[in-house]
Amino acid sequence: MKRFLAIVLALMLVLSLGAVAFADEETAEEEVVLEYPMSDDGVMVTVPLNSTYVGVFSAEGTYSDDGSVNYVDIEQVCYVLPETYSVGDTVLVHVSGSAEDSVRLFMVNSDGWSRASAITVINPGDFDLWLEIIVADDEGKGVTETNQLNFKGSSYGVNIPNLTITTLEVFSGTIDDYTAAGGVNCSLTGHTITEYVSNNDATCTEDGTKTGVCSVCGEEETVTDEGTATGHSFTNYVSNNDATCTEDGTLTAECDNGCGKTDTITDEGTATGHNYEKGVCANCGAEDPDYSSFPTTAVIIFAVVVIVIAAVVILVAVLNMKKKK
């Protein structure tokens, strides 16, 4: 009987150990191993925006097929980064999306309760930021390391009303380290455009534009095509028929380029001169400074003199006739 009990106990012990081993094995199989893919440039590491990668501060989000996530009315949410960083390390973070209100972004330590970097404020609207974040014990709470990036409301007690994150990528090092490692991103280095094509939109007074395509990202960039303003062109002048007796008239032309600008110039030599009739210009009414009424007056005086002389002669003749009688 004792031997039988011993065998039973031995079997129970073996079964118990097997059950524990099986449970441990099952737990190990259920343990999630986070996998971080490389970003498109082959240098940064992408943090997938889904619930698997959400850290100690989680929030319910709406995940899209394009890989983005949207959060509405949440206190905060953080994401687990691909590495653990020590105080003094620099992490280059690329984050893009849109925010309805200001959002604070900062590192938190592994348990999430202590801030592990300075705060970056993301302003409302669309954003596409490249941030050099230095791990630090900013609050003096003894932070030594971090592996989580936290998004939090604009101030204490204020929830995030609407936040969409479309990109979250990280690189261990500075911007200089990133570019030295072969990272090329137009947000940091500017577009690489070797040829611009005119848009043929110059006007008489404004330079036109030209557009080029970035060989790195394919984005179009349009810039001012300096010095391409055409200037006005006036060739078809038409008389305004406004010459006077003493002033030349004018000619007016519209710009040949069709901008509506007009140009008026003097129509040299078109002054008509006065047309005097009896001492007065028939065109403008000006008096002729050379006109005089003297010839008519002289005739009258001459006629008077003749009449007077004739009268004297007649009078003398009459007196002589009277004396002879």
**Could you read off the pLDDT of 46-75 as tens digits, one per residue?**
999 999 999 999 999 999 999 999 999 999
| Bridge partner list, 129 | 95
91: left (phi over 0), alpha (psi -120 to 50) or beta: beta
Tokens 């992490």 belong to which residue? Answer: 91
| pLDDT on residue 8 | 46
DSSP 148: E
Q: What is the mean pLDDT of the chain?
A: 86
The mean per-residue pLDDT over the stretch 91-118 comes to 94
Helix (H, G, I), strand (E, B) or coil at 159: coil
Q: What H or E segment, with its residue span, contains residue 5?
A: helix 2-30
The mean per-residue pLDDT over the stretch 270-293 comes to 85
Single-letter amino acid code for the residue at 310:
A
Tokens 């001492």 belong to which residue? Answer: 279
Given a cut of 90, whether residue 146 has pLDDT beyond it is: yes
| pLDDT on residue 200 | 92
Given a cut of 50, whether residue 87 has pLDDT beyond it is: yes
Binned at pLDDT 50, 70 and 90, residue 20 comes out as very low
| Most distant pair of Cα atoms in the chain: their distance | 220
| pLDDT on residue 6 | 53
Given a cut of 60, whether residue 17 has pLDDT beyond it is: no
Among 8-17, 175-184, 309-318, name the one with the lowest average pLDDT.
8-17
Higher pLDDT, 2 or 125: 125
Q: What H or E segment, with its residue span, contains residue 151?
A: strand 145-152
Closest CA to 153 of 95, 63, 71, 220: 71
Single-letter amino acid code for the residue at 169:
E
What is the phi/psi pair of residue 310, to 5°?
-60, -40
| pLDDT on residue 7 | 59
| pLDDT on residue 21 | 47
